Structure 1
Amino acid sequence: MAIDQDEHIIEAIGRSRIVIRNGSVVEVGEPRIKDCPLAKRFAFPVLDIRAESVKANIEHRIKAFGMCTADREVLDNREFVGFGASELLSFGLRAGIIDAAVLACDGAGTVVVTKPAMAQGVGGRMSGLVKTSPHLAVMERIENGGGFVLDHTHAAMDQVAGVALAAEKGFRKIAVTIASPEVAVTIRKIHPETLIFGVHVTGLTRDEAEMLSSAADLITGCASKTVREIAGPKALLQAGIAIPIFAMTRRGKDLIIEKIRQSDEQVLVKPTKLPSLGDQQPAPLI
């Protein structure tokens, strides 16, 4: 690949649009969110969400684990949040509840991962990936670790094709992370047994939130007003308060409960109307 083609676009920390070229942050859009309790707990905390602090956080990720570069690390066993998407999918792989997870990875595009450490390593520190460029070294790490890459040439992101690839490889208990409600509906129709996890939902319209709520098993609340208002009351279970995870189906609920059952952490279980939200929410919700 020519060096000037190495471009990655992500949306992160207040839904800022960030462009990374050749390992350097070259553009940071104005954040739409001004305060986020999760961002304050990052390894490189963002206490005041401004373009400058977002840029510093992304630069730290590039330096710390090679995000959007050929040095990108793809394995990690640390939990960053108790019920995040990568944490739940990593646990699901470890517990045998799922046998493959279809994710988006910078430098590789849509990938199928089979090991808990790779689910966490790929997804645990990744934000909303909009576009990426192929890095063969990253793809080799994924494949050497038991994973599969959908598109070696362009690092395309196509979660529908990713689920099909996982099925082609013989996996039957497949999970997938989805940012698009339309894609979630498509996967539910074509591959109805897939565990669908809605992620990166900040800014969804009411119609989009309705669509995702009808198709997904699990949805993260992010900083979405519509997901809290629409998915929250329909959910069977909510995990977390500040950035809630909503289990929309029995399968989603079972995954969270099994993670709790196998954990030694103290947990409060209380029947209540959902959503149950505290005063530490992202602001503004959009």
Structure 2
Amino acid sequence: MTQGDEHIIEAAGRARVVVRDGRVVSVGPARIQSCPLAARFTEPVRTFSEDEIRRNIEARIAAFGMCTPDREVVSDDDYVLFGASELLSSALRCGIIDAAVIACDGAGTVIATTPRLIQGIGGKMSGLVSTTPIPAVIERIREHGGIVVSPHDAALSAENGVSTALENGFHAPAVTTASADEAVSIRRAYPFAFIVAVHTTGTNKEDAEKFAASCDLIFPCASRAMYEIAGKQALLQGGKAVPIFAMTAAGKNVVLAKIANSDTPVVIAGHALPYSEGKEPSPLQ
């Protein structure tokens, strides 16, 4: 473990969690009170209390070494049909993208070059605010074909990740971001990038408009503005309780490719968007 080891995560309901030396040292208040996805976690979060969120993070540390040198970085498991890592893993298998710029605890910005690496890093990861380098994790990512953009400080910068991907010969990178301004900047600099907005609970109207204008896929999480702005502009919605919005033809293609290559039964029907059965995260922020 590196000296000064600290990892800050916005977990269930955007509760701010600090992990040091493999231990949860603080848990902040959640911004929502219920979420159908969180209720189905291996260690469920139903009331969004500090104790529940702490147990959930501790379970992740125990299960796959999150925020520790034991961090597992590859996986063959799909956890949800329309999760960000599941969709990007599928897109890479189908040749729609050739790499994914994502965030990993202990490594920072990573260029993942295989479906297993995308899923292993992102499948159980929450919103990463900051992290410090863990040499064992960085080496494990490299062993599985990944590129760590800033190994010396594990900095988080999606735009730097896209630039580095291009420098390394990739031509069709996907990238995830929780920043509307970063999404706008990436779209301007790299119009061919496939941009995915993640971890958007609390997004205001101004930023929702920026995301809607810049992204191919949007996870609205518990943002009222995202439902009202991005949802109404979407070409396709995947899922009902915790949906994803495809904003472009490229985004729509990624969702449809995932459906085409999944054994999960689905219903496809025309409908005004966003579509809801009243089971989304609550309260919307």
Tell me the TM-score normalized by structure 2: 0.98
Residue in 2 that maps onto 1:277: 276
The residue aligned with 2:127 is: 128
Where do residues 1-286 of structure 1 align in structure 2 (5 Å cutoff)? 3=3, 5-286=4-285
Q: Which amino acid in the other structure matches residue 172 of structure 1?
A: H
Structure 2: runs of 5+ lacking an equivalent: none
Counterpart CA distance in 1 for 2:63 and 2:263 is: 30
Displacement of 1:173 in angstroms is 1.2
Q: Deviation per CA, 1:39-69, whole angstroms, max 9, x where unpaired?
A: 0111111122111100010000011101011
User: Number of paired residues?
Assistant: 285
Q: Distance in 1 between matches of 2:262 and 2:53?
A: 33
Q: Deviations over 1:91-150 (max 9, x none)?
A: 111111111000000000000001101100101110000000100110111111011000
SS in 2 for 1:72: coil
Using the alignment, how far apart are the partners of 1:64 and 1:263 within structure 2? 26
Is the partner of 1:33 in helix, strand or coil? coil
Residue 70 of structure 1: CA displacement? 1.0
Distance (whole Å) between structure 2 residues aligned to residue 258 and residue 107 of structure 1: 31
For residue 2 of structure 1, report the CA deviation from its aligned partner.
Answer: 5.2
What one-letter code is carried by the residue in structure 1 that aligns with 2:251? G
Residue 281 of structure 1 and its aligned partner are, at CA, apart by 1.3
Runs of 4+ in 1 over 3 A off after TM superposition: none
Deviation, 1:175, is 0.2
- In the alignment, the residues of structure 2 paired with residue 265 and residue 23 of structure 1 have an alpha-carbon distance, to the nearest angstrom, of 36
- The CA distance in 1 between the partners of 2:252 and 2:229, in whole Å, is 17
Partner SS state of residue 14, structure 1: helix
Cα shift at 1:21: 0.7
Query: In the aligned structure 1, how far is the partner of 2:130 from the partner of 2:2?
Result: 17
Task: Give % identity.
Answer: 52
SS at 1:176 equivalent: strand
User: Which blocks of at least 5 consecutive residues in structure 1 are unaligned?
Assistant: none
User: What secondary structure, in the 3-state scheme, does the structure 1 residue paired with 2:196 have?
Assistant: strand
